[in-house]
Structure 1
Amino acid sequence: MSDPWSRPDPLIVDRATELRDSADLDAATAIVVTEGRLLASAGRLVELPPAEHPEARLRVYLGRENGRDLIAIVPADPSFADGYDGIGGERLVGLRDLLQPFAAHGAEGLRDRELGSTAVALEAWHASHGHCARCGAATEPVKAGWVRRCPADGREHYPRVDPAVIVAIVDEADRLLLAHAAHWSPKRFSILAGYVEPGETFEQAVHREVWEESGIELTHVAYAGSQPWPFPASVMVGFTARTDATEASVDGEEITEARFVSREEIIALVADGEVVLAPHGSIARRLIESWFGGPITDPAPDERIDV
């Protein structure tokens, strides 16, 4: 089973890195991102021609497609969102809200997701890295938004990406380990994940995180795919693993509950609203459904328990 963000293919839109110093951003087609939300309509990104660009606080070059340049604009006016309340179908939505609509649009949806995730990640990076980590001087965006330069010492700062691992663990009975994190809403369950620490490989991070959170030792750890997750700056690296354990001993701090479930049990738990799985479009959902052997149907919105 493939996931739209876990694909071995090249980028859909050519980032054209060689043009970051020379592209005419005033003549580019723009998508809009503000405070992690994107201007969209009917599940697709809204693309603005040059004449409709809002005044920009930040512009980031996204690449070149079919002979035209694409950029992301962060509006200068903080009240920009007030003009988009859904009238005419255009509204500002979070990237998570676009996961399922994007998936429904096939190749065009994948292309939009690629552009949207890049825009959200870079907006967040610029917002949180406005000063030089060495001297504290205010930095300025250069190279069409892909670098921040310190005017005091000339040092260049690049967007950060925080690697994290996520793993689908099955026991000898082929049951999947589902866990509930302390900061999640009560019914939310997913698979174990955590950040990679300095000095360890992805696989070592998998073993460490799982042991720390569940007291489980793993065997047969194998890479399964990856996914950009710009909330605010992660890339999720997915794995599968097996264990001889039959139950978990949670840490009670990060993870408050964990249990192995069979395929029959997970269907019943989801249908009854006792378990709400990771959202469609996430690598967590992809790993869960890969173990299950196909899509898992969520209850209709009016049938679900509020989470």
Structure 2
Amino acid sequence: MSLPDRFAHEVLADDPHDRSAHRRRDDAWLEERWADAATRVLVMAGPRVRPVSGEIAWVSPQEAPAGVRVFLGEQRDRAWFAVVADDPAALIGDDERAWMPLRGVLPLLAGEGSAEAPLVFHAFGIAEWLSATVHCPRCGGRLEARAAGHELVCLDCGRPQFPRTDPAVIMIVTAGEPGTPEERCLLGRQSVWPAGWFSTLAGFCEPGETLEDAVRREVAEETGVRVGEVEYFGNQPWPLPASLMLGFVGRASSEQIDVDRDEIEEARWFTRAQLREQAEAGEVRLPGGVSISRALIEHWYGGPLPGEWR
């Protein structure tokens, strides 16, 4: 078995765009870029896009509908925008199945599409925030988009709103002597998932909590397993709808499973041999290759595994 030089979730972040935040209030410069034939725009009906021929569809500014112009930044000598349509229902029309949320287009961001992945993640994060933030949380007043879509200002009380990113921990928990055939990893499944779907555990960091303690609390709450040592693994932007997934490897200090039956329906310990055998048989299916969850599992396993969620 051998691990890739870089996991898929890392490849997605290989070519980050220059967000050029200092340009977001430069209206003259933004208009100049908007008029440039080289500029590309991602059309969004709320937090949904319409792929064309299995690819993310970028269009010229002239082809974009009316909506909030979101300046994403600069990359490869051109400007990139998203337009969040003023009337997403009219844009979708009778073609609802063709418009996909981020989870649906994640497979399109692998391979050749990975160069645009940071732009797409940026666009989805802002589109989700604009769609969800309809009224001022202080006074309920009207909001107006400014700073090229990165700020909402209440027209009644003047309070500004900014996009949020919520820290979430995602972890693979191990038990047994490391590197031996008896070493095990802990995976769980939610009741709403199809039979056989398993993943690493995850949860949101609470106020006043360290990331390591969030790992320990979430694992204990969901499975009853206690975790001692926690080691940082990596991270992945995850705008579903507004998270940053922070990956960890935790070492169990207890192994008795007692699932909460609320978030987690089932949790199991797997040796490497068991995980491989059940994945090959299709009895266990693991998260997609672009997710940090998959990377955590294959990092522990020591190589690629077959089968993924569809």
Same fold? TM cut 0.5: yes
User: What is the CA distance between 1:43 and its match in structure 2?
Assistant: 4.5
**Does the CA-based 8 Å contact 2:12-2:114 persist in structure 1?**
no
State how far apart, in whole Å, the 2-side matches of 1:7 and 1:280 are: 11
* Alignment RMSD: 2.4
Candidates 257, 262, 277, aligned match of 1:248? 257
Match of 1:26 in 2: 34
Asked if 1:37 corresponds to 2:48, the answer is yes
User: What is the CA distance between 1:11 and its match in structure 2?
Assistant: 5.8
State how far apart, in whole Å, the 2-side matches of 1:126 and 1:11 are: 25
Asked if 1:59 corresponds to 2:69, the answer is yes
Moved over 6 A (4+): 7-10, 83-86
TM-score norm. by structure 2 comes to 0.86
- Where structure 2 has 5 or more consecutive residues not aligned to the other structure, the ranges are 177-181
Stretch moving more, 10-19 or 155-164: 10-19
Match of 1:5 in 2: 9
Q: CA separation of 1:76/1:151 partners in 2, compared to 1, >3 Å: closer, same or farther? A: closer
- Where structure 1 has 5 or more consecutive residues not aligned to the other structure, the ranges are none
State how far apart, in whole Å, the 2-side matches of 1:154 and 1:10 are: 38
Deviations 1:164-218 (A, max 9, x none): 1011011113211111123323321111111111110111100111111111111
Asked if 1:196 corresponds to 2:205, the answer is yes
State how far apart, in whole Å, the 2-side matches of 1:245 and 1:263 are: 19
Match of 1:100 in 2: 107
State how far apart, in whole Å, the 2-side matches of 1:16 and 1:79 are: 32
> Mapping of 1:165-180 within 5 angstroms?
165-172=169-176, 173-180=182-189
Match of 1:269 in 2: 278
State how far apart, in whole Å, the 1-side matches of 2:195 and 2:162 are: 38
**Does the CA-based 8 Å contact 2:12-2:115 persist in structure 1?**
no
User: What is the CA distance between 1:73 and its match in structure 2?
Assistant: 1.1
Candidates 96, 102, 112, aligned match of 2:116? 112
Q: CA separation of 1:101/1:124 partners in 2, compared to 1, >3 Å: closer, same or farther? A: closer
**Does the CA-based 8 Å contact 1:163-1:196 persist in structure 2?**
yes
Query: What is the count of residue pairs matched by the alignment?
Result: 293
State how far apart, in whole Å, the 2-side matches of 1:228 and 1:68 are: 23
State how far apart, in whole Å, the 1-side matches of 2:289 and 2:103 are: 9
- What SS is found at the alignment partner of 1:265? helix
State how far apart, in whole Å, the 1-side matches of 2:276 and 2:183 are: 15
Match of 2:104, as an amino acid? D
Percent of paired sites with the same residue: 35
User: What is the CA distance between 1:61 and its match in structure 2?
Assistant: 0.6
State how far apart, in whole Å, the 2-side matches of 1:294 and 1:215 are: 29
User: What is the CA distance between 1:147 and its match in structure 2?
Assistant: 0.3
Asked if 1:74 corresponds to 2:101, the answer is no
Stretch moving more, 149-158 or 242-251: 242-251
Deviations 1:61-96 (A, max 9, x none): 10012332210012334232358799xxxx543322
Q: CA separation of 1:201/1:146 partners in 2, compared to 1, >3 Å: closer, same or farther? A: same
